[in-house]
Amino acid sequence: MNRLSILAASIAATLTLVVGATDARAQGAYYIAVPEGRTGKASLITRSTPWTLRGDAYVANRAPEREIVLCQLLARNIGKLRSFSAGGMSLGDAALEKCNARAKAVPGAAVAAR
């Protein structure tokens, strides 16, 4: 029974992320970034790019910086990202790892890892 409830919670969380990202895409956002955790910020600006939280994803219109640069700037402000897409194309695993290397440290993460 316990395994079933864990599986159901995992499926529900995944569907929430997919629906949030799909909703952002439907509203015309060029960049869509899904953070790994909650950030508490409804909006922010990286260089000259304004980001807005829609559902579980940060969205922005097209900007002059390269996608990886925007991803790194956002990760530096909100922490690790679960996904990042530009114009409907998701960053690959290696690029997302490079992006997340610039993520801000989450307080208590080093203690929890021990």
Short-list 20, 81, 83, 72, CA closest to 46 = 72
pLDDT at 114 over 80: no
Helix H or strand E encompassing 12: helix 2-26
In the chain, how many domains are there?
Answer: 1
pLDDT in tens, 76-90: 999 999 999 999 999
pLDDT band for 107, please (50, 70, 90 cuts). low
Residue 51 has φ and ψ, to the nearest 5°, of -115, 140
pLDDT at 25 over 80: no
Range of the domain at 103: 2-113
Quote the pTM value: 0.70
Average pLDDT over residues 5-26: 51
In one-letter notation, the amino acid at residue 8 is A
pLDDT band for 108, please (50, 70, 90 cuts). very low
pLDDT at 72: 97
